[in-house]
């Protein structure tokens, strides 16, 4: 043990010299990291500190829209289009910023004693954009469609069957008790049997096209119509590399940017902005096929040395929350007492774990070896990352540095998306980093199961699954919090991955004319009835240039626009 003790002493001394409390100093060579992301250069004529910007008024409120992708809230995948879509479609429920469900198209609901049969009563008199009334058959069709999509299949895995039992009454049967079901039903509903790129919906806007513009028009039948809402919302398209410039020049009036992008996107300080809570979790995946990685003590080492706080601060600029447990800290029921791991005193804690495991620097090369039947074996890890995700690459370099700092030999490999996926599928890795969307009811069951997306290393635990079942079967706040605590404790013992950060997005409005903005995780405009819109400047001139740049509208359900094509 003398060699090990000397190595640990070197590490502790280095920590003291550099005055750090976590595993973020460097005492040996590591791979050269990519350049640290820097804020996007401020576009010409835009001063981020200006308090009285000049408004370039064109009389329009304009959103980005890609005609190559759906506006369908169930099948659509384009991020920009889903912002537009949230103006046109509503769900049975919507999520509040603390990830709890509140009713929208659902008037009331009840659940049986064992939490497996739910009955929802829809609002009466809700009109769809084709003039028909919303029915339980529409809701059943939408849920069944959603359960068959890649986009929503995982979150709806608990559903056994859905049926309309009368005009406004919907029944949903579950495979197991889940008192968080309403949080899963926040996606937009569409008219039964409408499956095209722009199906009929019940939102405050409907798609309309005239000879010069593709636009959304307010639907005067909407029950919560806000007098300040723009009568028309114009749609335009630009490439990704033009997006910030178009926003800065007020040709696009609202944009959503993801965590790391939000840090690097500058706007004037008095422009409206709002945080958008997400359930997007960045994590380290583990392959326990070799010694140590199947040891819960070593998995704790990875968690202590992950540098999640540094990742949240440096890479995301605060647009992410460190995740010391698998559950989202933004969740209303979340409690700090569930956290058993943090970044503080990382060196001392990992040193104690290494001593307990029996790892030491047997050959004095500044890297630890693993004891195997009385002999010390070389111990090195292959850490793979998808090179198309700059935030994940930057986080991987921080983690690699931290692991090397505590004596773990790590080889970081940046792989193309296709190669990355192949290596995961074939198990050719020890660690990987990725981001996944956790369902809003915090259901990890499909993700941690033997072939789940968070379990490429196949470290399946029935105990962990059982603690998740307890969480879903809990009906009161007290029961849920107690079950959540047990889940987090079991998670530390049977952890198939290490949670890093929950990402937050930001929504920015560039005209300084929107206020009272609240963003729902269910969709940017799901609270639009509460927003306040001001003046957008002079009325549209309808010049020829506008006519030439407007995109051609898509068909709705393969035939015509929902309003007949105004």
3-state secondary structure 434-463: EEEECCCCCCCHHHHCCCCCCCCCCCCCHH
Residue 396 tokens read as: 């991987």
Among the CATH numbers 3.60.20.10, 3.40.50.970, 3.40.50.1000, 3.10.105.10, which is that of 2-30+278-504?
A: 3.10.105.10
Residue 440 sits at φ, ψ, to 5 deg, of -65, -10
What's the CA dihedral at 559, 562, 564, 566 to 10 degrees? Answer: -120
Give the separation between CA 116 and CA 110, rounded to whole angstroms: 11
Extents of the domains making up the chain:
2-30+278-504, 62-253+510-549
How confident is the model at residue 240, as a pLDDT?
Answer: 84
- Contact predicate 415/382, CB 8 Å: no
How confident is the model at residue 129, as a pLDDT?
Answer: 92
CA angle 437, 442, 445 (to 5 degrees): 85
How confident is the model at residue 98, as a pLDDT?
Answer: 94
Instruction: Return per-residue pLDDT of the chain as tens, 566 residues.
Output: 333 343 444 444 344 333 334 454 333 344 455 544 443 332 322 333 333 344 445 678 999 999 889 999 999 999 899 999 999 999 999 999 999 999 999 999 999 999 999 999 999 999 999 999 999 999 999 999 999 998 999 899 999 999 999 999 999 999 999 999 999 999 999 999 988 899 999 999 999 866 556 899 999 889 888 888 999 999 999 888 888 888 888 888 898 888 777 666 665 555 678 889 999 999 999 988 777 888 888 988 999 999 999 999 999 988 999 999 999 999 999 999 888 877 667 888 899 999 999 999 888 888 998 888 778 888 899 999 999 999 999 999 999 999 999 999 999 999 999 999 999 988 899 999 999 999 999 888 878 776 677 777 666 677 778 888 888 888 899 999 999 988 888 887 777 789 999 999 989 887 778 888 899 999 999 999 999 888 775 544 333 333 333 334 444 443 333 332 22
- Contact predicate 524/83, CB 8 Å: yes
How confident is the model at residue 397, as a pLDDT?
Answer: 97
Q: What is the biggest distance separating any 2 CA atoms in the chain, rounded to whole angstroms?
A: 83
Among the CATH numbers 2.60.200.20, 3.30.450.20, 3.90.1570.10, 3.40.190.10, which is that of 62-253+510-549?
A: 3.40.190.10
- What's the pTM? 0.83
Burial of 526 (0-12, 13-18, 19+ CB in 10 A): buried
How confident is the model at residue 270, as a pLDDT?
Answer: 58
How confident is the model at residue 177, as a pLDDT?
Answer: 92
Domains 2-30+278-504 and 62-253+510-549 agree in fold: no
């Amino acid at each position: 043990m003398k060699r090990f003790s000397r190595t640990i002493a070197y590490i502790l001394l280095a920590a003291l010299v550099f005055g750090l409390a976590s595993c973020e100093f460097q005492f040996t060579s590591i791979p050269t990291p990519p350049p640290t992301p820097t804020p996007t250069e401020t576009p010409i004529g835009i001063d981020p500190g200006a308090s009285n910007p000049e408004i370039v008024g064109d009389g329009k409120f304009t959103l980005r829209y890609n005609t190559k992708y759906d506006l369908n809230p169930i099948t659509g995948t384009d991020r920009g289009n889903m912002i537009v879509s949230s103006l046109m479609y509503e769900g049975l429920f919507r999520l509040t910023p603390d990830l709890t469900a509140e009713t929208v198209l659902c008037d009331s609901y009840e659940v049986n004693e064992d939490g497996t049969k739910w009955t929802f009563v829809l609002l009466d008199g809700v009109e769809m954009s084709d003039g028909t009334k919303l029915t339980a058959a529409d809701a059943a069709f939408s849920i069944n469609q959603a359960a068959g999509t890649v986009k929503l299949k995982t979150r709806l895995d608990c559903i056994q069957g859905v049926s309309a039992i009368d005009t406004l009454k919907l029944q949903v049967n579950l495979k197991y008790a889940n008192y968080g079901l309403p949080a899963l039903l926040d996606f937009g509903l569409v008219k039964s049997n409408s499956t095209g790129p722009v199906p009929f919906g019940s939102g405050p806007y409907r798609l309309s096209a005239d000879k010069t513009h593709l636009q959304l028009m307010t639907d005067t039948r909407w029950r919560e119509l806000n007098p300040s809402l723009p009568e028309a919302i114009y749609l335009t398209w630009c490439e990704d590399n033009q997006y910030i410039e178009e926003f800065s020049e007020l040709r696009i009036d609202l944009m959503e940017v993801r965590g790391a992008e939000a840090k690097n996107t500058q706007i004037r300080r008095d422009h409206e902005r709002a945080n958008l809570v997400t359930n997007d979790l960045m994590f380290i995946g583990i392959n326990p096929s070799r010694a140590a990685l199947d040891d819960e003590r070593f998995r704790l080492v990875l968690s202590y040395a992950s540098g999640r706080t540094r990742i949240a601060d440096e890479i995301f600029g605060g647009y992410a929350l460190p995740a010391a447990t698998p559950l989202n800290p933004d969740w209303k029921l979340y409690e700090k007492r569930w956290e058993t791991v943090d970044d503080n005193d990382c060196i001392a804690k990992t040193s104690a774990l290494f001593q307990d495991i029996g790892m030491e620097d047997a050959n004095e090369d500044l890297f630890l070896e693993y004891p195997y039947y009385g002999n010390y074996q070389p111990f090195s890890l292959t850490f793979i990352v998808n090179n198309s995700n700059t935030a994940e690459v930057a986080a991987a370099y921080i983690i690699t540095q931290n692991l090397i700092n505590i004596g773990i030999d790590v080889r970081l490999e940046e792989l193309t998306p296709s190669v990355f996926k192949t290596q995961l599928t074939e198990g050719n890795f020890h660690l990987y980093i990725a981001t996944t969307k956790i369902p809003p009811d915090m259901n990890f069951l499909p993700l941690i199961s033997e072939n789940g997306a968070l379990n490429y290393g196949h470290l399946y635990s029935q105990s962990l699954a059982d603690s998740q079942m307890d969480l879903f079967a809990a009906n009161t706040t007290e029961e849920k919090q107690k079950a959540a605590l047990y889940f987090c404790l079991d998670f530390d013992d049977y952890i198939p991955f290490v949670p890093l950060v929950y990402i937050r997005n930001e929504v920015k409005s560039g005209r300084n004319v929107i206020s009272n903005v609240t963003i729902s995780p269910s969709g940017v405009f799901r609270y639009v009835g509460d927003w306040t819109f001001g003046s957008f400047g002079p009325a549209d001139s309808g010049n020829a240039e506008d006519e030439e740049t407007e995109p051609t509208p898509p068909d709705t359900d393969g035939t015509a626009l929902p309003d007949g094509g105004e």
